[in-house]
Chains A and B, each alone.
Chain A
Amino acid sequence: MANPVKDPLTGAETTGHVWDETLQEFNNPLPRWWLWTFYGTIIFAIVYWIMYPAWPMFGSYTKGIGNNITYKTDAGEEKSTHWNMRALLAHDMQNGEEAIKQQEYLAKVGAASYEQIAQDPDMSSFVRSYGVGMFGDNCAACHQSGGQGVVGQYPNLVDDDWLWGGDTASIETTIRGGRLGYMPAYKSTLNEDQLNQVANYVLSLSGEVADAAAAAEGQKIFQGEAGGCYMCHTKEGTGMHAQGSANLTDKIWTIANLPAAEAPEAKLAAVKAVINNGVQRKMPVFGAEGRNLSDTEIKVLAAYLQQMSGGAQAAQ
């Protein structure tokens, strides 16, 4: 670099690299705007080092000065600390504009009755917008995003049939504590004929095509000690909310996939399979022992479910 090569035409310094006889690489100085921006970033970095946690030291690190964050501990004590993401999050949750708005609404909903929520357009729309996120995150994986469930596995939440009760108190209990849906398998208790008879009887309860003679025999098993079905499903077959046992007299099927079966034989087979294998379903706990949703969040979900399933009337 002692004798820089110059381009004879322009007088500009070149690197000395030449291609195709005349194509040269000029060694022009960096553009001024670029150079000053570069120096600017260096100055920015130094300011950043001073203000924010940056350099590791022995056993600790520089904590930054001039931008402390104030937050409240759970115990209610006000604290101030050097800038860090965790304190910033606590601060945002306690003081952020959106967070405060959300908390005000949550407090309002938490204190209101379900009737008040349903009648207040403000609270209703809050429940709708907050509930859709909560439902999507906590419920939709099983009950599907529309709440329609999966026949055979997860109950439909948008019809007016409720296994464990559709009043808001029952829905709250279900969400908070989870549920264990259990029906014993009858394959070792009843023989093939008896299974057919009970299945025919169950179909006849909701007006499906069934063999009348077999159904009459099935009724005896259903209502007698041989099957003992009545203990959970009641003598009339209407089910009990306390047991989570299905109402067999309506047209709604939650386990046996009758909607998918067209021929009477297929329907019979579907019902028989359920009696044969029993039912074991589990809804997880969303209260303090499980997912730890707060009482207010559970309330929002219950109110949201009411809206989904067609309003307060349908849920009763």
Chain B
Amino acid sequence: MFKHESIETNSGMLIVLTLVAISIGGLVEIVPLHYINETVEDVKDPATGFEVVRPYTPLEQRGRDLYIREGCYTCHSQMIRPFRDEDLRYGHYSLAAESKYDHPFQWGSKRTGPDLARVGGKYSNEWQVQHLTAPRSVVPESIMPNYPWLQATTLDTSDLQGRMIALKRVGVPYSQTKVEYEANVARFGEEVAKTLDINQAENNLMAQAQAGNYDGNPSNVSEMDALVAYLQVLGTMVDFKQFDEDHFIQFR
């Protein structure tokens, strides 16, 4: 009769069989997700037919880099689960489509602070600046650290295009050629396609920072501009009023 000792006393066999058992977990649970069409929802504007979830603009993308640099993800998740209490507190549950251009995604696994998946538009820019600089000046019971250097530091944009090209290589549809640009126009509309053009990245970043004036100081594009621009777009791309709830249920 087969006995487990025969595996346990043969370390070569034990290694091979352990690897087989573990890789089945990955092969069966993860790999097929890439081939199942329903995994990522199809979210198109019913009026224009354009995809509503778009890659981040250069300024937002730099803000996202800072979000990761400062380790915001260690305390804040970006994943509203489909439970009633989360729906009531944070809003509509997160869609897979909403993080399809996130590399790496920021779902997180620990909420020391609140979930940020739908924080965009919830507070004014002024509040965000004040809160990031000195959280306890607006939320006395907060244990979040101060981030005073964000406003004082000019945003480094020297490697902006390189960062976007890196993201393009892992599948984010930023455009470099005319053909890619035209494809984005068809997919997202002209207005959005312009912001995804790598050749125009610096101009687009400056223009958005100037128009948005996120940190209240129009003379300089600071790290605060980028981070607040990123926070203000979180969870705002999909306008759930446009969709019947049923649309999203059908993808599961």
A56-B28 contact given A137-B89, A141-B138, CB 8 Å threshold? yes
Interface residues of A in 64-90 (CB under 8 A from B): 71, 73-75, 77, 79, 81, 84-90
- Is B249 in contact with chain A by the CB < 8 A criterion? yes
A55-B246 contact given A153-B138, A282-B124, CB 8 Å threshold? no
- Is A290 in contact with chain B by the CB < 8 A criterion? yes
Q: Is A93 touching B252 in the complex (CB atoms < 8 A)?
A: no
Interface residues of A in 129-148 (CB under 8 A from B): 133, 137-138, 140-142, 144-145
- Is B245 in contact with chain A by the CB < 8 A criterion? yes
Q: Which residue of A lies closest to B141 (CB)?
A: A145
A84-B252 contact given A55-B28, A60-B38, CB 8 Å threshold? yes
- Is A284 in contact with chain B by the CB < 8 A criterion? yes
Interface of A is mostly: mixed
- Is A288 in contact with chain B by the CB < 8 A criterion? yes
Q: Is A56 touching B122 in the complex (CB atoms < 8 A)?
A: no
Interface residues of A in 240-290 (CB under 8 A from B): 280-285, 288, 290
> A-facing mask of B110-145, CB < 8 A → 1, else 0?
000000000001111111001100000111110000
- Residues of B within 8 Å of A98, CB to CB, are 84
Minimum distance in angstroms from A66 CB to a CB of chain B? 17
Q: Is B252 touching A87 in the complex (CB atoms < 8 A)?
A: yes
Q: Is B28 touching A283 in the complex (CB atoms < 8 A)?
A: no
> A-facing mask of B141-167, CB < 8 A → 1, else 0?
100000000000000000000000000
Q: Which residue of B lies closest to A92 (CB)?
A: B84
Instruction: From A74, A96, A288, A291, give the contact of B246 (CB < 8 A).
Output: A74
The answer for the CA separation of A8 and B130 in the assembled complex, in Å, is 77
Q: Which residue of B lies closest to A142 (CB)?
A: B127
The answer for the CA separation of A153 and B123 in the assembled complex, in Å, is 13
Q: Which residue of A lies closest to B30 (CB)?
A: A56
Minimum distance in angstroms from B88 CB to a CB of chain A? 8
- Is A11 in contact with chain B by the CB < 8 A criterion? no
Q: Is B245 touching A284 in the complex (CB atoms < 8 A)?
A: no
A142-B123 contact given A56-B32, A59-B37, CB 8 Å threshold? yes
Q: Is B5 touching A75 in the complex (CB atoms < 8 A)?
A: no
A90-B245 contact given A142-B138, A153-B138, CB 8 Å threshold? yes
- Is A61 in contact with chain B by the CB < 8 A criterion? yes
- Residues of A within 8 Å of B252, CB to CB, are 53, 84-87
The answer for the CA separation of A145 and B6 in the assembled complex, in Å, is 65
- Chain A contributes a number of interface residues (CB within 8 A of B) equal to 49
Q: Is A75 touching B138 in the complex (CB atoms < 8 A)?
A: no
Q: Is A90 touching B249 in the complex (CB atoms < 8 A)?
A: yes
Interface residues of B in 69-116 (CB under 8 A from A): 81-84, 87-89, 91, 93
- Is B178 in contact with chain A by the CB < 8 A criterion? no
A153-B241 contact given A87-B249, A284-B121, A290-B121, CB 8 Å threshold? no
Q: Is A86 touching B127 in the complex (CB atoms < 8 A)?
A: no
Q: Is B130 touching A84 in the complex (CB atoms < 8 A)?
A: no
Q: Is A89 touching B140 in the complex (CB atoms < 8 A)?
A: no
Instruction: From B6, B33, B121, B127, give the contact of A141 (CB < 8 A).
Output: B127
- Residues of A within 8 Å of B3, CB to CB, are 1
> A-facing mask of B213-252, CB < 8 A → 1, else 0?
0000000000000000000000000001100111011111
- Is B36 in contact with chain A by the CB < 8 A criterion? yes
Q: Which residue of B lies closest to A87 (CB)?
A: B249
Q: Which residue of B lies closest to A180 (CB)?
A: B124
Q: Is B33 touching A56 in the complex (CB atoms < 8 A)?
A: yes
- Is A58 in contact with chain B by the CB < 8 A criterion? yes
Q: Is B123 touching A141 in the complex (CB atoms < 8 A)?
A: yes
- Residues of B within 8 Å of A56, CB to CB, are 28-29, 32-33, 35-36
Q: Is A153 touching B130 in the complex (CB atoms < 8 A)?
A: yes
- Residues of A within 8 Å of B6, CB to CB, are 1
- Residues of B within 8 Å of A137, CB to CB, are 89
Instruction: From A59, A85, A138, A290, give the contact of B35 (CB < 8 A).
Output: A59
- Is A292 in contact with chain B by the CB < 8 A criterion? yes
- Residues of A within 8 Å of B240, CB to CB, are 292
Q: Is A81 touching B249 in the complex (CB atoms < 8 A)?
A: yes
Q: Is B249 touching A74 in the complex (CB atoms < 8 A)?
A: no
Q: Is B244 touching A85 in the complex (CB atoms < 8 A)?
A: no
Q: Is B124 touching A283 in the complex (CB atoms < 8 A)?
A: yes
With A1-B6, A55-B28, A133-B89 given, name 17 new contacts (CB 8 A).
A53-B252, A59-B37, A81-B250, A86-B93, A86-B251, A92-B84, A93-B84, A141-B123, A141-B131, A141-B139, A142-B127, A153-B126, A153-B138, A280-B126, A284-B121, A291-B122, A292-B91
* A/B interface sample: 23 pairs, CB < 8 A: A1-B6, A56-B32, A58-B35, A61-B32, A61-B36, A73-B244, A74-B245, A75-B246, A84-B252, A86-B82, A86-B93, A86-B248, A86-B251, A87-B252, A89-B82, A89-B87, A90-B249, A96-B84, A141-B139, A144-B138, A150-B138, A153-B138, A292-B241
* A residues neighboring B (CB under 8 Å): 1, 53, 55-61, 71, 73-75, 77, 79, 81, 84-90, 92-93, 96, 98-99, 133, 137-138, 140-142, 144-145, 150, 153-154, 280-285, 288, 290-292
* B residues neighboring A (CB under 8 Å): 3, 5-6, 9, 28-29, 32-33, 35-38, 81-84, 87-89, 91, 93, 121-127, 130-131, 137-141, 240-241, 244-246, 248-252
